[in-house]
Structure formats: C-alpha cells, structure tokens
C-alpha cells in the first residue's frame, strides 16, 4: 500500500492510497491482477497432454508452474512445458520432475536453476503464453511418466500468471 487508509479520507485519497507505492498519479501505471489456477492431473494417464491448460485470457500472459502431490508419492516423473492449444508435450518448466509427496516448486535466482525436493531440471521460471485461440505457444501441458495403475495421491498443477497485454 502506498499510504495509510483512514475512514475519514476523501474517496480520491482512498483510491490513490490503494495503489502500489510509486504508481499514484502516474498516467501510464497499470495495476495487473495476479491469478492462480489449480488444475487436477489424472494420475492414471500417461498420455501427452495429460495436463492441458490453455490460456483463458484474450491477451498475452506471463506464467509459471509448480505441482503438488498430496498423499502417497508416485513412482515415475512428470514433464511440464509450453505447447499449442493444449496438445502435445513440452519440458520448459519440468524435465523428469519427481513425484515426491509435497509441493514441487521451481524457481530461478539470477539465472541459476533452483529446486525444492529435487524435482528434476528446470529451464525457465516465467514464460510468455499467447492469447487463447491463437494456436501458438498458448498453453501449458504435462506428461506423466508413472504407471497407469499408480497409487500416487492427488496430483495438481499450480499455474500462476499475469495478463500483460
């Protein structure tokens, strides 16, 4: 918050104080909402696009992905990447990410890959996805390499994104 809000403040001051510090009064400042989506992933399918999420926005977004295994661990791995229209496979975020129980997060710090829970290799943290319906690099897909009779707990992808255009 840019300042302290008081019930006695006039409406204009309230609105200005709700903007992030440094944006109040800047004609070109744009506040962008931060969105988080949780997508269930089938734990018994090893097909490409087992995880399939197409950018729901009409504009370009920048996104990153984490995943969660709730309950028992899986015996295989997962690849998660960027693709077209929710089809195919990719490894932009996770290459052979382990299915260890817990939250699997990939974050890069100053260009160096960092991982929690030893989740495999990571290429990039944030990637641009085109608008839904464009057919070009507009989706997040994942391929599970576990057994089709997996006893793994619930598997979910956590997608964080900002609309940038």
pLDDT, tens digit (0-9, with 9 covering 90-100), for 85-124? 999 888 888 888 888 887 776 554 434 444 443 344 445 6
Q: Are 76 and 144 in contact (CB under 8 A)?
A: yes
Residue 43 near residue 146 (C-beta atoms within 8 A): yes
3-state secondary structure of 123: coil
Residue 151: other Cβ atoms inside 10 A: 13
Confidence category of residue 52, pLDDT binned at 50, 70, 90: very high
Domains of the chain: 1-31 (no CATH), 33-163 (2.60.120)
């Amino acid at each position: 918050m840019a300042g302290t809000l008081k019930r006695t403040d006039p409406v204009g001051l309230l609105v200005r104080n709700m903007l992030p510090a440094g944006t109040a009064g800047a004609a070109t400042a744009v506040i962008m909402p931060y969105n988080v989506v949780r997508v269930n992933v089938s734990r018994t399918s090893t097909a490409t696009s087992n995880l399939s999420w197409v950018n729901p926005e009409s504009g370009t977004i920048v996104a990153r992905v984490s995943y969660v295994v709730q309950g028992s661990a899986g015996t295989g791995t997962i690849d998660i990447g960027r693709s077209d229209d929710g089809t195919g496979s990719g490894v932009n975020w996770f290459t052979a990410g382990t299915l260890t129980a817990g939250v699997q997060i990939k974050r890069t710090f100053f260009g160096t890959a960092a991982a929690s829970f030893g989740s495999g290799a990571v290429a990039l943290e944030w990637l641009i996805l085109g608008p839904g319906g464009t057919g070009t690099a507009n989706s997040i897909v994942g391929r599970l390499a576990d057994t089709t009779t997996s006893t793994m707990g619930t598997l979910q992808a956590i997608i964080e994104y900002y609309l940038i255009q």
